[in-house]
Amino acid sequence: MDRPEVRDLVYFVAVAEQRHFGRAAEQLGMAQPPLSRAISRLERRLRAPLFERTSRRVDLTPAGKVFLRESRKILADVDDAVRRTQRAARPERLVLAAPAGTGARLLGRMLDAYRDGPGSVPVEVHFTTDTGAAVRAGTADAAFMCSSEDFDGLDAVDLAEETQVALVPADHPLAAYDKLILADLEGDRLFQPQPPGLALDELVDRIALGELVVLSGASVTDRLGSSVVAVPVVDVPARQIVMAWPQTTGSAERDRLVRTAVAVARSG
C-alpha cells in the first residue's frame, strides 16, 4: 500500500474544512499550486476521488467524507502520541487529573506520602470533569476516576469508596436538612449535576457565594469552612474511586505514585 504521510492528511483536512483550495493554502502558509498537486497525488495513492471540483466550489465525495472523519481521528492520535512521548522524556514532574470534590482527603494524604518518599518528583494536580480524557490525550500521567467511567486504553486500580453529599451555601434552605434525596437537588435552580472543572477551593468559594449547589465526595467536609454545608444524599450510591493511567506508556515516577496511592488507601 502506498501509505499517505501525515502532512497529506493535514493538507486534505484543511481543504475539506475550507471547501476552497485558495483559503486552505492561505491557512497552511503555502501556495495554491503545490497544495492542489498534493491533493491530486493523495487521490492517486488512495485510488479514490476525494473532492468534486467545480469553478465555484469544492465538495467532498462520499469517499472524501469517510476519509475526513478518519483523518481527523489519525491526526488527533498523532497529537496525543507526541504529547505522551514528550511527557515520558521529561520525568521531572507528574500531572494528576482529578475531579474537584472526589477523594479530596485521599488525594491530600497520597500527595503528602509521595512527597515524603524517596525519588519523588513534583506533582501538579489538574482539576477537570473529564479526567479520563486528560490521561488519554497525554496532558496527565494518571487520574482519579469513578469505577462507572470508560477505561478503554487504561490500566486502573481501585482505591476507596466514597459516599456522596450535597454541598450547599450555609444560608440555603437545604442546609437545614439532616439528609436529602436526589429529587431535592434536582428541584433547585442552583443544582449542577456535573460540577464545573474547578480546583476544590474555588468550587467551595462559588458555593459559598450562592452560585451553585453540587454533589461531592464526603471527604471534602473538612475543607468547607462555615459558609458551606455538606448534607448526605441518601439515594445516591457511593462512588468507587479508581486511579487510572495509560496502558501504552511506562514511567517509574508514575508507578511510584500509583503504589503510594494504593498504600495510603489501604491504610485507611
CATH number (domain holding residue 152): 3.40.190.10
CB 128, CB 197: distance < 8 Å = yes
Are residues 76 and 15 both part of a single domain?
Answer: yes
Local confidence band at 87 (pLDDT 50, 70, 90 cut-offs): low
Tens digit of each residue's pLDDT (9 = 90 or more) over 114-146: 988 887 888 999 888 888 889 988 889 999 998
Rounded to an integer, the average pLDDT of 85-93 is: 69
pLDDT at 248 over 80: no
Give a yes or no: residue 262 inside a domain.
Answer: yes
Domain boundary among 88, 123, 138: 88
Question: How many whole angstroms from its chain centre is CA 226?
Answer: 32
Here the cell at position 123 is 506533582
Find the distance separating the first CA and the last CA of the chain, reported in whole Å: 56
Q: For residue 70, name the pLDDT band (cuts at 50, 70, 90).
A: very high
Burial of 236 from C-beta contacts in 10 A (0-12 / 13-18 / 19+)? middle
Q: Same structural domain for residues 74 and 148? A: no
- Residue finishing a domain among 88, 117, 138: 88
User: Where does a domain end: 88, 107, 124?
Assistant: 88
Locate 178 and state its grid cell.
Answer: 439532616
Per the DSSP assignment, residues forming a β-bridge with 126 are: 97
pLDDT at 1 over 80: no
Instruction: Enumerate the β-bridge partners of residue 161.
Output: 240
Determine, yes or no, domain membership for 1: no
pLDDT in tens, 152-202: 889 999 998 888 899 999 999 999 999 999 999 998 999 998 878 777 788
Is the pTM value of this prediction over 0.85? no
Cell numbers placing 229: 454545608
Note whether 151 and 255 are same-domain residues: yes
Whether 91 shows a pLDDT value over 60: the answer reads no
Residues 16 and 56 in one domain: yes
pLDDT over 80 at 90, yes or no = no
**Together in a domain, 170 and 83:** no
Cα→Cα distances 7→17, 39, 49, 208, 241, Å: 15, 11, 18, 51, 41
Pairing state between β 228-232 and 214-217:
unpaired
Q: Taking a C-beta distance cutoff of 8 angstroms, is the pair 157, 218 a contact? A: no
Domain carrying residue 34: 6-88
Domain count, the chain: 3
- Looking at the structure, do residues 169 and 154 belong to the same domain, yes or no? no
